[in-house]
Amino acid sequence: MSVTPVEINFDGIIGPTHNYAGLSLGNLAATASAGAASHPRAAALQGIAKMRVNVRLGLTQGILLPHPRPDREWLVALETDPSRAGRLWAAAASASAMWAANAATVSPAPDTADGRCHLTVANLVTMPHRSHEWPETFRQLRLAFADPAFAVHGPVPAPFGDEGAANHMRLCRSHGEPGVEIFVYGEAGGPFPARQHPEASAAVARRHGVTPVLVQQSPEAIAAGAFHNDVVAVANEHVLFAHEHAFADKERFYADLRARLPEVEIVEVPASAVSLADAIESYLFNAQLVTLPEGGPSAELGRAMALILPSEAKANGRVWDWLETLVAGNGPIRHLVPVDVRESMANGGGPACLRLRVVCDPATVDPRFLVDEAKLDRIAAVVATHWPERVGPEEHATLGDWPAAVAARRALLEALDLVELIDS
């Protein structure tokens, strides 16, 4: 009996080395927070609370695990180690793998030439602190998606920067039907790096066997601090929700979408109502745009779409006024669900950054990577016991191998019966 695929959000559990080192040029929140004290325990618990919101809405929820940090192997390759790394230490200790939207690009089975779900791990070569993530991400993805229904690929080779699903969208009538895959790339030349190379996007599309729509991200958006497309646009089923200045040639792009998917609904936020600065400060578009399931715990909301967005969007009066007008209308987006992920937000990652979307049959996923309320309780208990409460910048020079963080990650992997990842 065939099973209709569902969308699963795989959230990155925020690791115990979460800190603010300001490593991400072009990410205005991250650079503004450089040198601040971080709160890894609160950060991880906020991420877990966001996952609870998804579960209670009736959505299927998964996890990806923190990486081993500091990354001793990477430092050894650079002829140093955590005790002597100097300025490299922050890049080796970064917990940036929490932002699972950068883990991979995912093409669901209905879209691909061979009828399998394809995942290509992102190389993240533009930023040194993220460039060494892909081997551990690849290891986890191959474990979680070992079923023959999936094809998990290694990264696109350097120097073509690929930052994964943060620059990829999918439009379709419903998740289980064939869709239109949108690859958003940047062009170099502005004040900040354009992180998604067009050749990387084209290579991933060829590898997955999909016929893509390639569109350039607006240089204006990148210059304003939209370092990934998911800071200015998000898609779900037949709805594209985007800022007026998200794309370089939006009229041609919109025409291409309508030709490929006549049912597409484009909900565009005008700059006259919400400026790029407001959109980026509030992370309005770095939201999870989700379809609420019929007959689930959210049945009283009706089958409609909801925006799971950061509480910062509610705190911005111009943004929230526009959103309240939006959901009061007859459009597809009817519900607003603010969540508190302020520790992630201070490093430049909102609700959408924290999750990787995979459309598949949940029965084909290693169940250790899927969660319910009980498993989230178990994860929260480990975090409350082992994650540091506060890490100040004055401590960074003294942490070295950070044995407490290593032990914390081990405790989590043991609690989840993922011991094969301990030595990775």
CA distance 302 to 251: 33
Q: Is there a contact between 79 and 85 (Cβ–Cβ < 8 Å)? A: no
Residue 385 CA to residue 415 CA, distance in Å, equals 12
Measured in whole angstroms, the distance separating CA 298 from the mean position of its chain's CA atoms is 24
Active site residues: 163, 228, 353
Cα dihedral 257→258→261→262 (10° resolution)? 170
Using alpha carbons, list the distances in angstroms from residue 392 to 32, 36, 87.
Answer: 16, 7, 16
Where do the H-state alpha helices sit in 261-363? 276-282, 311-315, 317-328, 342-345
Measured over the CA atoms of residue 302, residue 306, residue 310 and residue 315, the dihedral's sign is negative
Closest C-alpha to 237, from 323, 301, 178, 149? 178
Dig out the tokens for 194 from the structure.
Answer: 């354009």
Nearest CA to 349 out of 5, 43, 81 is that of: 43
Contact 368, 418 (CB under 8 A): yes
- Please give the distance of CA 175 from its chain centroid, rounded to a whole number: 18
Cα separation values, 227 from 154, 195, 196, 233, 349, Å: 23, 7, 9, 12, 11
Alpha carbon distance 317, 334 (integer Å): 19
The label of the residue with tokens 């009706």 reads 302
- Side-chain half-sphere CA neighbours of 398 within 13 A: 5
The tokens describing 410, both together, are 């081990």
SS3 label, residue 254: helix
Beta carbons of 221 and 245 less than 8 angstroms apart:
yes
CA 292 to chain centre: 20
